[in-house]
Amino acid sequence: MMNHEQILGGIYGLLVGDAVGVPYEFHSVNQLPPIEQIDMVPPKGFIRAHPGVPTGTWSDDGAGALCLLNSLIECGKLDLTDFSNKLWAWYSQGLWAVDGKVFDIGIQTQASLQAFRDGISPEQSGNVYPEGKGNGSLMRVLPLALWHQGSDEQLVIDSHTQSLVTHGHLTNQVACALYCLWVREAAKQQSMEDAYQIAVKNLRNIYGNKSPERIELDHTICPEEEPTSNGSGYVVETLRSVRIAVKEADYEQVIKKAISLGEDTDTNAAIAGGLYGVKVGFTGISNRWLTQLRGKDKVDKLIRSW
């Protein structure tokens, strides 16, 4: 079980990473400022994504994660219908969006939530694009790993299940499971790469030798390959971006590295930041960025209700 410091580090590590990454989204590497100039406030002259969004605002990554945490706390278990209703409330009414305004949503997530609203079960709504392999379920899954007190096997099952609402493909489910086990191992203070390798080993043991999940892990995610990434929103590429970023020496450098890969900067920074935040705890999160993060009072209230 994770301690309070690690839980806070994970939640705020994700939210801060998301907020720092927002202005840089959709930019290629050669459009970004030098890595040392990447900050919560971009350098003068940089053409921001979402220019009307105030500095320090988390996006769909943070909101989705908070919807999941909110549902887990209220229900005491993973209740897919309740979770789906909260995601719909975010999309339609701004639940867990700073200022109640939704300014960023993935195409597949939007279509899947609409399918759910139109009567498709939450177990099936994520199949609206059967081959969709974006990172929309991976970006929000961290609270499950923070909240979960069951076995690794039970955590893996729930990781798969929460993905179904918006991203039903097996690749997405396996990626979420691997990340959750990685978070669990990172909390034990191994090096990030050691924690990753242990998570891979544990996941293989859970899947067995010939299951579809094992084949997906070994032949699509290819977890032993040296990671390279162009920052895209493909879920396997996102895992690789995170592996690259968390090799850095401190939280700020992790976030800057994730953003420096370009493209899906807010999501890559959120996922890497949440994972690294579990390792270093709340005190390891950049204080100067924390002070610029908006909406902290609502998050603190939710965590106190846990």
60 annotated ligand-binding residue: yes
Tokens encoding 280: 């270093």
CA distances from residue 39 to 32, 46, 154, 212, 241 in whole angstroms, order as listed:
11, 12, 38, 42, 18
300 annotated ligand-binding residue: no
266 annotated ligand-binding residue: yes
220 annotated ligand-binding residue: no
194 annotated ligand-binding residue: no
267 annotated ligand-binding residue: yes
Provide DSSP, the chain. Answer: ---HHHHHHHHHHHHHHHHHHGGGTT--GGGSPPGGG--SSPPTT---SSTTSPTT---HHHHHHHHHHHHHHHHSS--HHHHHHHHHHHHHH-TTSGGG------HHHHHHHHHHHTT--TTTGGGSSTT--BSTTTTT-HHHHHH--S-HHHHHHHHHHHHTTT--SHHHHHHHHHHHHHHHHHTTT--HHHHHHHHHHHHHHHH-SSSHHHHHIIIII-TTSPP-----SBHHHHHHHHHHHTTSSSHHHHHHHHHHT-SSHHHHHHHHHHHHHHHH-GGGS-HHHHTT-S-HHHHHHHHHT-
Tokens encoding 24: 């840089």
Q: Which residues are annotated as a binding site?
A: 59-61, 264, 266-267
Binding site per annotation, positions for Mg(2+): 59-61, 264, 266-267
